[in-house]
Amino acid sequence: MIWFYRILFLPVLVVLLPYYACRMWRRGGYRHDFHHRFGLIDRPPPKRAGMRRIWLQAVSVGEAKALGPLLAGLNALPNTEVVVTTTTSTGYEILREKFAASVLKVGIFPLDFWPFSRNAWRRLNPDLVLLMEAELWPEHLHQAQLRGVPVALINARMSDRSFARYQKVSGVARWLLGQLREIQCSSASDQSRFIQLGADPGRIRLSGNLKFDAAAQIPILTENERTALRDELGFGSPVKLESQNAKPVSPLVLLGSSTWYGEESVLLEVQQAAVASGLDVRLLLVPRHAERRGEIISLLEKQPLPWHARSAARQSPLPVSIYLGDTTGELARLTQAADVAFIGKSLPPHSEGQTPIEAAALGLPLVYGPRMSNFRDACRSLEDAGAAWRVDDATSAHLALIALLQDPTRRAQMSAAGRAWQAANQGATARTVAALQEILK
């Protein structure tokens, strides 16, 4: 099987190279330490006698952000050192900024081709390899098998799309899963799917979702800090409404959290309808990919409300109705300026969804589309807790958001429910680290 993969790798890479080259050019940052992608990661110091080295691979920005509690737990293990790699340039930037001082080495994961993977393995020389969520690289797993190094898949999940794909190549799925010492699943339904794909039930355990613990580590803004942030965004000026009491009313901030193509237009329509109804609603757009800024700016230029882009300056020079958070790594802080959140990549034709966990933990009432397949269990429990509102399409999203913006009582109830939901689901980090300690014995 591995030789078939090796033979196919190069022609497939050549076919896909224009696509990935375009992504690299658009997103930027790929030149930095590009040699790591060929396995030429700078060598860490040699292992000291009795030390055990863990190689943790966190593929993307979301996984990189969730590493804080896990790394603290791994570093607390006796005679243990950790090397962390990631695949994306933005993930690498976050790892270097947040965790370089707390791990032995931060690097970029190599292309999964025989010589590149072998280079990295020889340089890093791990005793245990950790993969996160659904990342199964055949050459990486084979190199571990050659060396007798155990591999654990942690925070494991299986999206609807991945599950359907693996079912079509069930033999490949069994081969990949058979090389894992342990699979620590984030939910019971994920556990069931891995078993259906051929994983050994004796090697699977339910540990919970690490992102719940990571959400608990988000620095919470004080009321004064939140006010300063809203001022920074140009949302600080209250509007005096013509009402019986004539009291100033602070603006309501609607957050588009990790939005994808088409969803910004829906949120702009919601804002315009809310304003027309007499509400002072400001819109904070934080797209999943900052390189879409040009496309979104073109959209903003076609509507009448004043706006500002964070990439031009963090401080909005004037009070604005719309703020585009087109930067990376600031979503958790910007989220705390909002009153209601729409979770992106959830309206058709999108179906996988972005994480709702951080926004719920920060107390925002949530609205998202019909198929949050990457977070189906978390979303189901959020809805059961009364912290989130699932809608069918753009029209129902519009109606739900308007209803929430008009209903302070329901917003307060959903906010409290979200915070309680997050607190009740903590503990995955401790369970994960305890299981890994057993492997290292």
Check which CATH number belongs to the domain holding 197 and give it: 3.40.50.11720
Residues 340 and 399 in one domain: yes
The domain of 130 spans: 27-216+426-440
Residues 211 and 260 in one domain: no
Residues 204 and 298 in one domain: no
Check pLDDT > 50 for residue 420: yes
HSE-up of residue 64 (Cα within 13 Å, Cβ side)? 26
pLDDT of residue 30: 66
| Residues with active-site annotation | 63
Strand, coil or helix: 33: coil
Task: Tell me the average pLDDT across 406-413.
Answer: 97
Task: Record the pTM.
Answer: 0.87
Q: Rounded distance, CA 33 to CA 91, Å?
A: 13
Check pLDDT > 50 for residue 240: no
Residues 263 and 405 in one domain: yes
Bond from prior residue into 11 cis (ω within 30 degrees of 0): no
The answer to whether position 384 is within a domain reads: yes
Check pLDDT > 60 for residue 242: no
Residue type, 378: A
Work out the angle at residue 153's Cα, subtended by the Cα atoms of residues 114 and 385, and round it to the nearest 5 degrees: 145
Residues 144 and 264 in one domain: no
Task: Tell me the average pLDDT across 253-259.
Answer: 98
pLDDT of residue 246: 40
Residues 180 and 262 in one domain: no
Residues 420 and 430 in one domain: no
The answer to whether position 288 is within a domain reads: yes
Check which CATH number belongs to the domain holding 233 and give it: 3.40.50.2000
Distances (CA, A) of 313 to 9, 97, 225, 234, 337: 43, 21, 19, 12, 17
Check pLDDT > 50 for residue 216: yes
Tell me the DSSP string of 353-410: ----HHHHHTT--EEE-S--GGGHHHHHHHHHHT-EEE-SSHHHHHHHHHHHHT-HHH
Residues 434 and 412 in one domain: no
| Tally of domains in the chain | 2
Residues 245 and 211 in one domain: no
Q: Rounded distance, CA 143 to CA 158, Å?
A: 24
Task: Tell me the average pLDDT across 303-331.
Answer: 94
The answer to whether position 1 is within a domain reads: no
Distances (CA, A) of 422 to 8, 214, 219, 347: 44, 10, 15, 24
Integer Rg of the chain from CA = 23
Residues 304 and 198 in one domain: no
pLDDT of residue 147: 97
Residue 90: pLDDT band (50, 70, 90) is: confident
Check pLDDT > 90 for residue 349: yes
Residues 411 and 431 in one domain: no
For the segment 197-213, what is each residue's pLDDT rounded down to a tens digit? 999 999 999 999 999 99
pLDDT of residue 372: 94
The answer to whether position 19 is within a domain reads: no
For the segment 352-400, what is each residue's pLDDT rounded down to a tens digit? 999 999 999 999 999 999 989 989 999 999 999 999 999 999 999 999 9
pLDDT of residue 378: 94
Percent of residues, the chain, with pLDDT higher than 70: 95
Beta-sheet pairing, 80-86 with 252-259: unpaired
Residues 33 and 144 in one domain: yes
The answer to whether position 12 is within a domain reads: no
The answer to whether position 2 is within a domain reads: no
Residue 29: pLDDT band (50, 70, 90) is: low
Strand, coil or helix: 326: coil
For the segment 12-25, what is each residue's pLDDT rounded down to a tens digit? 877 777 766 676 66
pLDDT of residue 8: 85
